[in-house]
Every structure is written in C-alpha cells, then in structure tokens.
Structure 1
Amino acid sequence: MPLTHLLILALIQGITEFLPISSSGHLILLPNLTGMADQGQALDVAVHVGTLLAVILYFRSDVQAVTIGLGRLLKGKIDTQGAFWALCLIVATIPVVLFGLALKLSGYNDLLRSTAVIGWTMLIFGLVLYWADQTGPVTKRAVNWTLKDAVIMGLWQALALIPGTSRSGITITAGRQLGYDRESAARLAMLMSIPTILASGALLSVEVAQEANAAIMHDAAIAALFAFFAALAALTLMMRLLKSVSFTPYVIYRVILGIVLLVIAYT
C-alpha cells in the first residue's frame, strides 16, 4: 500500500480514536467517499494497536495500578482501588463484547457500514453528547467510580459498535450524565477503551493471521507507528483542553459532518 495511504489511515485512526468523533466512522468513510481501496482488517488491527499503546502510555500510572489490581482480583481480593477498577473494567467490557459477537454472527455489522448510518449517528449522538455535557451534574470524580456506573457506561459503550457513534464519545456522554466532571468522564472512557480495543483486536487477529505476509506486516508496522504518535498527540491535547474547554467544539464538528453526510447519502 502506498505510504501516503498508510499515513492518511494512521492519522485518521490516531486522531479520531480518542476524540468523541468516531474513528470507525471516519475509517469507513475514507474508501466510501474517496474511492481509495479498503485498508483491510490487518491494517485495522495495526492502527488499533498503535492507539492502544498511546493510551497505555498516557495513563500509565492508572494502567499499572489496574494491572497490579487485576492480579489481586484473580486471587479473590478487592482491597485496592486498582483491584476494584480492574473489576469495573471487566464488567464494563462485557456488553460491548456480547453485542459485538451478536452483530458479527448475524451479519448486521456489514449492513451498518453505510454513509447514511454514519451521518445519522454523527448527528444524533453529537447532540446527545451536548445535552449530557450541558445538563449533567458535576458531583463525581474518577476515584468515585462505582460498579453500578461501570455497568451503565458499559451498556452505553456497546452502542459504539454502530459506526459513527464514537466509543469515546458515547462513554463520555454516559459519564457526564452520571455526574462525572469532564476530565474524569474522559479518563474513565479512555481506560475503558483498553480492554475493548484488546477484545476487538484479538477477534480480528484470528482472521488476519490467515492472510498475513511480509508485505502486509511491513505496512502494518508503519501504520501502527504513525497511529501511535497521532493518538498520543490528540489524547494529550484533548485532556489538556478539557481543563478549560467543553465538548461543544466536537459537537459542532459532528453536527456539520453528519448533515453533510446525510446530504450526500440522500441525493
């Protein structure tokens, strides 16, 4: 694959994965609107690996605490915040895994990859994010995360399997509506992305392993590297801006893009 295509693919995935504007929607739109060849599942896995490494690096202290806590959880002990968060992350990931398997086995996941669907989800869930951000109370911080809230955020996260919804956007929406401040909602959403990306990557890797060759692996390594740096930059910028800026700029982008896509889809 040409280097330019790999760079565009990696930048789109890296920048949009953690911003509440839907990476999957943008990746589907790339071949739909430009006529470029579909990147294939191998590159999808590669760019997700790049973004996964970026979020792990950025939240390394939280990831370390959860990793250590997971060891205690496996021993039946929930006596640290890390162990409790590990439990919350497992519970929050179950809905998206089950919903993802249901979509894949039923074949509906392919039917949802249309410009019209992405247009509607961009528009609708952008407005829902605005509503939650403007009306949600600010009574909780990330350290106040509860198992009940993890279940609710996990159920909302499952909606992100509909292209254009945005995994980070819908979990941030849930977090804000539950009363978490903007920075905490984003922090929890990013941590929830780690097991979700791992689960989806593992599922795709089974199919990719059958078609892997030297050329594909070379392209995948380049795409993963570009995606890593793009995701790290986007994540760092968003988390800094959340100290003083709301989610409204992302909502405006989603609404404009959604309207444009609907015009394209229905004309």
Structure 2
Amino acid sequence: MDLHELLIALLAGALQGVLEWLPVSSQGNLSLFLTAVGTSPEIAIQLSLFLQVGTTLSAAIYYREDIAEALGDAPGWRPRTAFERPNAELSFVVLATAVTGVVGIPLYATLLDAASELAGGAFVALIGILLVLTGLLQQTSESVGLGNRDLPDWIDAVLVGALQGLAVLPGVSRSGTTASGLLVRGHDGPSAFRLSFLMSIPAGLGAAALTMADAGGLPGVSAGSAAVSLVVSVVVGYAAIDALLRIVERVPFWAVCYGLGGLAIVGGALVTVA
C-alpha cells in the first residue's frame, strides 16, 4: 500500500466515521469522494456500504452495556409483552431490522444502479427542512414539544425500519431519516438518536455482508486499505457518537434541529449539484 492509497484509506474512514451520524448521506458523500479520487462509481457505492462495518462497531462499543442488558432480558421475551419493559428496545431493533431487509434488499438488487444523486440530494434537503421546521415549532411554542414518549412501539419499528431500508440508495441519509421519523413519532432528541444508533448495528452488518456477497469479497480494495479505513471509522465514529449525544443532551433541542437541518440542506444541495 503506497502513500496515496494510505491517505485515501485514512480520509475515507474518517469521513464515514463522522458522516454516518449526521443527517447527510454518508454513502452519497463518501461515494462522491471515492469517485473524485479515481474509484469507479460501482466500487465507490460498494465501498461506502462496506465501511458501515466500522461505524457499526462504533455503535456496538458505545452501547455495549445497553446491548448486554437487552440480550440478558431476551430469555424472558414474550410476544404479548414485546413492546413493554424490559423488551421494548430489543423488539424495536429486531422488527425494524426485518423491515429494513424487506425494503432495502430489493432496492439494492434492482434500483441501486439506476438511483440518481439528484433524487437522493433532494430527499436529504427535504429532511433538513423538516428538521428546521421541527426546531422552529419547539422554539416558538412549548406546547408543540414532540418529546413525550419513553418507549418505542411496533409502529415506530415499521416506520423507521422502512426509512432505513431506503437509505441503501445513494444520497439518502440513514441517520437523518430514522431520527426524523422517531422525532415525528414523539420521541425526544436523545431517545431518537439513541434508537437510531442502536438500529444501525444490525443494518450496518447486513449492508456489509450484502456488499461482500455481491462483490465476491472486498469491494475493489486491498486488505490493508480496507483495514485502515475500518479502524479509522471505528475510532472517529465512536468520538462522533459521543460528541453528538453530548450536544443533544446539553443544547436546547430546537437549536440542534436548526444545526442538523442546516447541514442536511447544504449536504442535499451539494449532492444535487454534483
């Protein structure tokens, strides 16, 4: 691996680590970067999906105690109490993942090559506008605050699972769509982002497995380059999760909505122009 390849691997990992948790498409923007440095569009899309393994590990490490607790409660799971404590979050992640597969796998198989960056960019910008409007509502009227739920239900799981499935398309933000869906459903900011991060773990592993199966192995890169990108994405992704959650917990949520919405609008516009 020469210096040029090493630099690209480092930058790709860092971009994935940061962008995965923001309401701008990590896949779309990482694909643009990889294409700009000479990677073919097909391999760029496959690489951007494969690198979700790194941020998946970031989320798994960050929420290791929550995951252990949920799995420890699993033996007591019953269909009748699936979305009651202590089973609600595990049931949410399992059902959302199943819906993601139902929506995402056919899209990957039949529509990914035909998906336009224009459509994806417009969708990301729309999510940004909705986030800004949410912030405006929360700032101007306390009675409009959306955060009044403490447990996810099966409707949440089906809705955001489907939204997560759409994120297989270039330009569509996984974290932006899922967090926005949970906000609309009445979850507060920290809860929405936490659930979004948790459901990213099985989805990220599934996306990487699907990509490797489609590509017959590592998608167009050496093992050394892939390892560097994955390690960097894990480290940067962990730091990005921690930073974003600290901001969400300490800053008025209307301000967070303004900031993230603005990022999504700019990111969507850049994808559309590109």
Distance 2:172 2:34 in 1: 19
Aligned match of 1:199: 206
Q: Say which of 233, 253, 268 aligns to 1:258.
A: 268
Matched, 1:145 2:152: yes
Distance 2:10 2:119 in 1: 26
Aligned match of 1:93: 97
Q: Say which of 217, 221, 229 aligns to 2:235.
A: 229
Counterparts of 1:111-190 in structure 2, within 5 Å, are 111-112=114-115, 114-135=116-137, 137-141=145-149, 143-190=150-197
Distance 2:38 2:104 in 1: 26
Contact 2:58 2:235 in 1 (8 A): yes
What SS does the aligned partner of 1:101 have?
helix
Counterpart amino acid of residue 53 in structure 2: V
> Deviation string for 1:191-228 (max 9, x for gaps)?
111121122122223234x3459x72222111110001
> Deviation string for 1:51-98 (max 9, x for gaps)?
111111111221112222344449998597353322221111222211
Counterpart amino acid of residue 248 in structure 1: Y
Counterparts of 1:25-64 in structure 2, within 5 Å, are 25-32=28-35, 34-38=36-40, 43-44=47-48, 47-64=51-68
> Deviation string for 1:33-62 (max 9, x for gaps)?
x24324557744652221111111111221
Distance 1:158 1:101 in 2: 8
Distance 1:123 1:43, change over 3 A: closer
Counterparts of 1:7-26 in structure 2, within 5 Å, are 7-26=10-29
What's the TM-score once normalised by structure 1's chain length? Answer: 0.84
Distance 1:90 1:20 in 2: 23
Distance 1:79 1:180 in 2: 15
What SS does the aligned partner of 1:247 have?
helix
What's the TM-score once normalised by structure 2's chain length? Answer: 0.82
Residue 23 of structure 1 deviates from its aligned partner by 0.7
Distance 2:247 2:230 in 1: 25
Which stretches in structure 2 are left out of the alignment for 5+ residues? 138-143
> Deviation string for 1:105-160 (max 9, x for gaps)?
32x11111x4423331232221123234544633435x422223222222333332
Aligned length, in residue pairs = 258
Distance 1:219 1:260, change over 3 A: closer
State the superposition RMSD in angstroms. 2.8
Matched, 1:69 2:73: yes
Residue 22 of structure 1 deviates from its aligned partner by 1.6
What SS does the aligned partner of 1:87 have?
helix
Contact 1:183 1:242 in 2 (8 A): yes
Q: Say which of 87, 96, 104 aligns to 2:108.
A: 104
Contact 2:147 2:189 in 1 (8 A): no
Q: Percent identity?
A: 26
Which stretches in structure 1 are left out of the alignment for 5+ residues? none
Distance 1:169 1:13 in 2: 15
Distance 2:169 2:270 in 1: 19
